[in-house]
A = this chain, B = another copy of it.
């Protein structure tokens, strides 16, 4: 399983300090593409190829890995229509939709504060 390391649950390092388990879940949002995929699926089911076209710069490999990982976590459902060529649709599960609400908030924040952050960085890097 090539992508084992990608989907591997990081052990909670022995102790069950809440922080560790938190990190585990937050990694879901932390990887490079999950948030973008979830956001797109938030507006309805999409085909594999639609996702690929919509997400600027994602590789086939990463799209597949990201979708598998979301599916594994019960956030995305995969539906195969065995025509030829095959058609595969991805949709959020009910729980996935509750996460996509959070994700939308995050994206909205990012859009609203993009300029502020950019300006802050410029000032910080000036000297």
Interface residues of A (CB under 8 A from B): 9, 13, 15, 17-23, 25-26, 28-32, 35-36, 55-57, 71-75, 95, 98-99, 102, 105-107, 109-111, 113-114, 116-121, 123-125
Contacts and interface: CB of A to CB of B under 8 A. Distances in A.
A123 B20 CA distance: 22
Given A17-B56, A30-B32, A57-B19, A102 B111 contact: no
Number of copies: 2
A109 B26 CA distance: 10
A111 B117 CA distance: 29
Contacts of A30: 29-32, 35
Contacts of A110: 22, 25-26
A119 to B, nearest CB: 8
